[in-house]
Amino acid sequence: MEAVNKDMTIYEVLQLNPEVAPVFFGFGMHCLHCPTARGETLEQAAAAHGIELSDMMDKLNAFFDQE
């Protein structure tokens, strides 16, 4: 089961487990607490940063699968 979906915000993912932050850092997403992180979906954030959404989703869900 997926813990994370493309319609969640960075903030919502961090609320699930703040220790997921390094996954975002690995994609060059360092401003996890800026206002945009609360309103932009993961899909929108991936597009804005030139990240392949499926790669980010795979890594985020792999993190939560290990919990």
Residue-wise pLDDT for 3-24, tens only, equals 899 999 999 999 999 999 999 9
Q: What is the pTM of this model?
A: 0.90
Reported in sequence order, the residue ranges of 1-67 that DSSP labels E, i.e. its strands, are none
pLDDT score recorded for residue 2: 76
**Mean predicted confidence (pLDDT) in 26-40:** 91
Q: Which residues contact 62 (CB under 8 A, 6 or more apart)?
A: none
- CATH code: domain 10-65 is 1.10.3910.10
Q: Among 24-28, 32-36, 52-56, which is the least confidently predicted range?
A: 32-36
Residue type, 53: L
Domain assignments of the chain as residue spans, ordered by start: 10-65
